[in-house]
Amino acid sequence: MITGLFLSVFILAAESGSIIDVDPGVVFWTVITFIVLLIILKKFAWKPILTALDQRENAIRESLDKAEKAKLDAQNVLEQNQASLAKAEEESKKIVEQSRQYAEKLKDQILQDSRDQARKMIDEASNEIERKKDAALDELKTQVAEIAIKAAEKILKENLNEEMQKKIVNKYIGEITKN
Amino acid sequence: MMPDTVKALTAADTLKKTAESNSDPSWIMHHVMDSNQISFGPLGSLTLPHLQLFGFNISITRDIFIMWFVSAVLVILLLIAAKGYKKSLVPKGLSNFFEVIIDFVKNEIVKPAIGKGYEPYMPYMLTLFFFILFCNMFGLIPLPNLVVVTGNVAVTASLAIISFIVIQYTGMKQHGVMKYLKSLVPSGMPVMIIPIMAVIELIGLFTKPFALCIRLFANMVAGHIVIFSLLGLIFIMHTIYVAPVSVGFTLFIEMLEILVALIQAYVFTMLTALFIGMAKHIEH
């Protein structure tokens, strides 16, 4: 039944007023409609939309490029930072080493200096002591001599009388005359 | 002989026609074919005026009226979509929906088919795609007046004629008229064969748009005839028990038609782009 239905559809179509008839009026209006539609849409829809899409595409591409560049820059900065950090660390190590050496040297030198000074001071002190001792001894000697002379004088003054003095003088005169 | 109950015109008309003769399928053609009547269901119908220009009948028919309606909807929707881009480049809502299709047409159809220098063709290709798509889709809405405009062979013929003009214009502009016409005949042919080849190539030139026209028309009208036939079984067999089967099959065909509507819009645009590309980059 369905086959018959279809067959009769196409038989009818082939007869008067079929669906395959091209109505020139419809062609005319379709062409006009399509062209008007094309003009309107081109001006008010496709142009803004396509421009916007292009702009967005470019914007995305630019941002991606920028991001890539920023990433590279960041990488470079990071590497630089790391390099300078390493350099700084090395330098600080060097400085610490240097200062340690310097401190060591300074310590040695100070130690040496103080030792020398101490020795010098000890030497000076012993010299001074020696000198003081000598002076004291000298003074002692003179004082002892003076005391001895005074004592001798005292003894002489008490024991030497006129007779004794004459005897002694005579004795010396006799010796002189003998010579 | 209108029924008292308010029913869709299709059903009423079908009843009327089937009441007259049991197996006369002319009502199917009546629905598929163009007419100068626009009906508003139970509210009555409007007869469109007859127009004449240089001896041609250029009356505005139902299909043209629907075509204008569809075009108006298309323009309004696209204007709203285009407005969305004025605020920001980030699409939203309707713009998003259209952008997917526009992007598809641009990157999947026009760019690969035409190649370098495809930009000037974008407005035409987009208009073509959306016009066919919207006409196909509106034809699927089961309202008395929303016929499938692309199921009118004159409409598809017009679209094919425009495609043909664009294709030939591209070829002639790109290579010059003489060189383009010469390139239609493959070089290196024996002199005797050249006239035959010229005729064949000339016929081939017109076959392409003809195929475009018939393919779209036949695909769109076939689905509708099948749907009407399936529903018509209920009235021909005079039994309600066939209705579930008919409705089930109709639903299936309707879903298939959604796919076909998309595919045919794609195919028509794709082939037009391909022919433009071929005219643009002549081999041999």
B122 to chain A: closest CA residue: A46
Which chain B residues have a beta carbon less than 8 Å from that of A24? 56-58, 154
When mean pLDDT is compared across A33-42, A103-112, B64-73, B138-147, the lowest value belongs to: B138-147
pLDDT at A168: 83
Q: Count how many domains chain A has.
A: 1
**pLDDT tier for residue B32 given thresholds of 50, 70 and 90:** low
Question: CA torsion sign, B85 to B86 to B89 to B93?
Answer: negative
* A13 pLDDT above the threshold of 90: no
Mutation target to probe the B interface, by most B beta carbons within 10 A, among A2, A15, A34 is A34
* A152 pLDDT above the threshold of 90: no
**Alpha carbon of B59: minimum distance to chain A alpha carbons (Å):** 6
B71 to chain A: closest CA residue: A37
Q: Where in the sequence is the domain holding A150, given as residue range(s)?
A: 22-172
pLDDT at B86: 78
3-state secondary structure of B186: coil
A46 to chain B: closest CA residue: B123
Nearest to B221 among A19, A23, A28 (CB): A19
When mean pLDDT is compared across A19-23, A128-132, B139-143, the lowest value belongs to: A19-23
Q: Which residue has the tokens 């390493």?
A: A86
pLDDT at B6: 39
Mutation target to probe the A interface, by most A beta carbons within 10 A, among B36, B85, B106 is B85
Which chain B residues have a beta carbon less than 8 Å from that of A9? 25, 28-29, 225, 229
Could you report the per-residue pLDDT of A27-56, keeping only the tens digit for each?
Answer: 888 898 999 999 998 888 888 888 888 888
Would you give the DSSP letter of residue B37?
Answer: E
Could you report the per-residue pLDDT of B258-283, keeping only the tens digit for each?
Answer: 999 999 999 999 999 999 888 888 76
Tokens of A91: 């330098």
* B5 pLDDT above the threshold of 80: no
Overall average pLDDT of the B20-48 stretch: 64
Contacts across the A-B interface (CB distance below 8 Å):
150
When mean pLDDT is compared across A136-140, B2-6, B130-134, B272-276, the lowest value belongs to: B2-6
- Contact assignment for B89 to A52 by CB distance below 8 Å: yes
Q: Which of B229, B18, B237 is nearest to A9 (CA)?
A: B229
Please count the helices (runs of H) and the strands (runs of E) in chain B.
10, 4
* B3 pLDDT above the threshold of 50: no
Tokens of A128: 């001074």
**pLDDT tier for residue A86 given thresholds of 50, 70 and 90:** very high
Please determine, for the modelled complex, whether the ipTM score is greater than 0.85: no
Mutation target to probe the A interface, by most A beta carbons within 10 A, among B17, B21, B23, B28 is B28
A91 in a domain, yes or no? yes
* B113 pLDDT above the threshold of 80: yes
Nearest to A37 among B102, B131, B155 (CB): B131
**pLDDT tier for residue B205 given thresholds of 50, 70 and 90:** confident
* A167 pLDDT above the threshold of 80: yes
pLDDT at B87: 76
pLDDT at A9: 46
Highest mean pLDDT among A148-157, B5-14, B29-38: A148-157
For A120, residues 6+ apart whose C-beta sits below 8 A from its C-beta are none
- Contact assignment for B34 to A26 by CB distance below 8 Å: yes
pLDDT at B41: 61
* B27 pLDDT above the threshold of 90: no
**Alpha carbon of A81: minimum distance to chain B alpha carbons (Å):** 38
A10 in a domain, yes or no? no
pLDDT at B7: 42
pLDDT at B9: 52
Overall average pLDDT of the A74-84 stretch: 94
Indicate the length of chain B as a whole number: 284
Nearest to B56 among A5, A21, A24 (CB): A24
pLDDT at A80: 93
Average pLDDT, chain B: 80
Tokens of B181: 């016409």
**Contact between residue B180 and residue B247 where contact means Cβ atoms under 8 Å apart:** no
Q: Which residue has the tokens 């008010």?
A: A44
Could you report the per-residue pLDDT of B174-204, keeping only the tens digit for each?
Answer: 888 777 777 777 777 777 877 888 888 888 8
pLDDT at A65: 94
Could you tell me which residue, A110 or A15, shows the higher pLDDT? A110
Q: For chain B, give the percent of residues with pLDDT over 70.
A: 77
Overall average pLDDT of the B30-57 stretch: 67
**pLDDT tier for residue B90 given thresholds of 50, 70 and 90:** confident
Which chain A residues have a beta carbon less than 8 Å from that of B221? 19
**pLDDT tier for residue B13 given thresholds of 50, 70 and 90:** low
Could you please report the per-residue DSSP string of A6-46? HHHHHHHHHSSS-TT---HHHHHHHHHHHHHHHHHHIIIII
- Contact assignment for B23 to A26 by CB distance below 8 Å: no
**pLDDT tier for residue B78 given thresholds of 50, 70 and 90:** confident
**Alpha carbon of B75: minimum distance to chain A alpha carbons (Å):** 7
A94 in a domain, yes or no? yes
Could you report the per-residue pLDDT of B129-160, keeping only the tens digit for each?
Answer: 999 999 988 888 877 666 788 888 888 999 99
pLDDT at A117: 93
Q: Rounded CA gap, B224 and A60, in Å? A: 45
